[in-house]
Each structure stands twice: as structure tokens, then as C-alpha cells.
Amino acid sequence: MTYDLFLANTFFKKREEHVITYKSGSSKTQIDFLLMRKGDRITCKDCKVIPGESVANQHRLLVMDVHIRRETKEQDLEVPKD
């Protein structure tokens, strides 16, 4: 079954330290993923692990930069009359 999703953090080429989400002793692996709808892929600007930040002892923080476009209303475009 498909839901038209993609793994955002596998979409960008990164150095190993910006991909590894779990580290224990000599074991390092990517076990945490961020899912997005394929149709929203253009809004995802970057996805990476922050090497110096840990959420728990062995887990590292995974972040995604998303560009969200604000819809403008007709009122926002009106020029005040003097």
C-alpha cells in the first residue's frame, strides 16, 4: 500500500555526521526518519542531524527546514488612501 510519501532525510546528500541519528559505542546508524508527502517535496529545503545536539543519551536531533508560503488576502494588498 502506498501513501505517496518520501523519506526527507534520505533525499539530501550529507556527510556521515549529518546522517547518523543513533550512536552507541562503536555502532552508528540512521534509525530516525522524517516522512513527507511527495507533493510537498518542493517545500523541504534541507534535512539533517545536528551533530552536537542529543535528544537522549544515544539519539541525535533530526531537523528539517521547510518553506511555508503564506497566502495573502485581498486586504493585505490594499493601499491606504490619503
What average pLDDT does the chain have?
85
Cell for 43?
A: 517545500
Domains in the chain, number = 1
Asked whether residue 78 is assigned to any structural domain, the reply reads no
Q: For residues 34 and 64, what is the distance between their CA atoms, to the nearest angstrom?
A: 8
Q: What is the mean pLDDT of residues 8-34?
A: 88
pTM for the structure as a whole = 0.66
Asked whether residue 41 is assigned to any structural domain, the reply reads yes
Cell for 18?
A: 549529518
Say yes or no to pLDDT of 3 above 90.
no
Asked whether residue 72 is assigned to any structural domain, the reply reads no
Task: Work out the pLDDT band at 74, boundaries 50, 70, 90.
Answer: low
Asked whether residue 73 is assigned to any structural domain, the reply reads no
Q: Which domain holds residue 52?
A: 5-67
Task: Give the pLDDT confidence score for residue 75 in this predicted structure.
Answer: 63
